[in-house]
Structure 1
Amino acid sequence: MTATPDLADRYLAAWNATDPAARRALVEALFTEDVTYTDPLADVAGRDGLDATIAAVQAQFPGFVFRLAGPADAHHGQVRFTWHLGPEGAEPPVTGFDVAVTDGDGRIRTVLGFLDRVP
């Protein structure tokens, strides 16, 4: 299945879900059971590891939200997008981009993250 740009919106919705049960439901719906997530600060496998990573980022940056920094670009089974992390309506202190690779059912199985600007 071909990845589409809306996959980035659903991905960021999971990262922005602060209610643990709601976040877990999004993680289970969007990511494969054996998902891998790698960025300069984390290297985790499985939904439990990803969910814990999201919770840790939320704890480190309380009140911050992820938002797209431009259009997502998708082809075949992958999507790449740039994102900002910061307070709503303010200059974001963190910027990066991710590449997500999907499986045959359109679920994300691999995320490769890069940090462009960090505090």
Structure 2
Amino acid sequence: MTTVAELMEANLLGVFNERDDERRAKAIAETYAPDVTFADPEGVVTGHEDLNAKAKGLLEQSPGFVFAPAGPVLVNHDLGHLAWAFGPAGAPPVVRGIDIALVEDGRIRKLYTMLLPD
């Protein structure tokens, strides 16, 4: 079974950092429950297709930008927390944030992203 820490890393690097549509779709199927809910300051999306569109749109708006972990994954039973940075490869990040996920039955069921102030 996939651990909460592995799911958090897959969320950041395998989904939101993945520009290849097929690899991202495969990672989504392996990482999230079919009815996953993702909430960020822009709104809420539900399900694999909407989550995929969200990740793809973000990457298309930010060519050359990459996500990177900004610390270790923290886990408390079924809850995961991962800080991240996003910006041009090899340069200081433009945005920092945290992802918090609720895991059920080995998949992320709910995911919340919060942006950190500058």
The 10-residue stretch of structure 1 (30-39 or 8-17) with the greater mean CA deviation from structure 2: 8-17
Q: What do residues 37-96 of structure 1 show as CA deviations (whole Å, max 9, x unaligned)? A: 001013100001100000110011111111100111002111001100111221000100
Q: 4+ residue stretches of structure 1 with deviation over 6 A? A: none
Contact map agreement 1:33 1:46 (CA 8 A) in 2: yes
Contact map agreement 2:4 2:103 (CA 8 A) in 1: no
Contact map agreement 1:71 1:81 (CA 8 A) in 2: yes
Paired position in structure 1 for 2:81: 80
Paired position in structure 1 for 2:25: 24
Letter in 2 for 1:112: Y
TM-score by length of 2: 0.91
Q: CA deviation at 1:117?
A: 4.0
Paired position in structure 1 for 2:37: 36
Contact map agreement 1:83 1:96 (CA 8 A) in 2: yes
Paired position in structure 2 for 1:116: 116
Q: CA deviation at 1:2?
A: 8.9
Contact map agreement 1:103 1:109 (CA 8 A) in 2: yes
Contact map agreement 2:29 2:48 (CA 8 A) in 1: yes
CA distance in 2, matches of 1:99, 1:28: 19
CA distance in 2, matches of 1:46, 1:5: 21
Paired position in structure 2 for 1:97: 98
Paired position in structure 1 for 2:59: 58
Aligned identity (percent) is 35
> Aligned residues, how many?
117
CA distance in 2, matches of 1:89, 1:50: 27
CA distance in 2, matches of 1:23, 1:117: 28
Unpaired segments of 5 or more residues in structure 1?
none
Contact map agreement 1:8 1:72 (CA 8 A) in 2: yes
CA-based RMSD of the aligned residues comes to: 1.7
Unpaired segments of 5 or more residues in structure 2?
none
TM-score by length of 1: 0.91
